[in-house]
Amino acid sequence: MSRTVSRFRVLFFGTGEFAVPSLQALVKDESFEVIAVVTQPDRPAGRHATVTPPPVKAAATALGMTDVKQPEKLAEPSFQDWIKHVGASCDAFVVVSYGKILPQWLLDLPKNGVINVHGSLLPRWRGPSPIQAAIAAGDAKSGVTIMQLDAQMDHGPVLALVETAIRPDDNAAALHDRLAELGALLLADTLSDYLDGRLEPVEQDHARATVCK
């Protein structure tokens, strides 16, 4: 794909390890200005229940980012005031492994919608555990979908897909890490082309959809 010299303003939502390569890719790409990160609050972890930041917060700190929001609820008035102020100036929001469903009022804020990196070949395996579901079902392949979020779970139109074979020795952890890297590689080019008007979303074949728990 051809690249653009435009600099797009992006707000990043992410929490888990799957999101870290995508955040790193956008921050390091000169086509984007990642203005802030929204992630979940620090939580107790491990045997001693030590309060620990989520992986995306740790990654943002390592990248030198200082504007990291951690609302317990997206409906918190202070968070709503902030995101409504910054959201109107964003070209897009990017969501990767955030762990919460975004309400419609938030989806409507950025100029070009909300883009999601999902760890399956949609419409197969909509839901929160697509990597584990693909392995449990004995699928021959998996992949990553870059899609535009709408009000329904993993239902929105597709911008790009990348496939990978599920290897005989793959477990969920190995496939997770490979898909996280593939998604990050695909995200920057796809998002740039979409925001430059060179890429049109394609509706999913909803009749073929499968759902994981």
Distance CA 31, CA 4 (A): 7
How many CA atoms lie less than 13 Å away from 190 in the CB half-sphere?
Answer: 24
Mean pLDDT of 167-190: 96
Q: Quote the percentage of the chain above a pLDDT of 90.
A: 92
Lowest mean pLDDT among 9-23, 39-53, 70-84, 142-156: 39-53
Q: Annotate 139-178 with DSSP letters as a single string.
A: -SEEEEEEEE--SSTT-SPEEEEEEEE--TT--HHHHHHH
Q: Among 114, 168, 125, 117, which Cα is nearest to 144's?
A: 117
pLDDT tens, position by position, 132-143: 999 999 999 999
Distance CA 22, CA 94 (A): 9
- What per-residue confidence (pLDDT) applies to 2? 46
pTM of the model: 0.94
Length of the chain equals 213
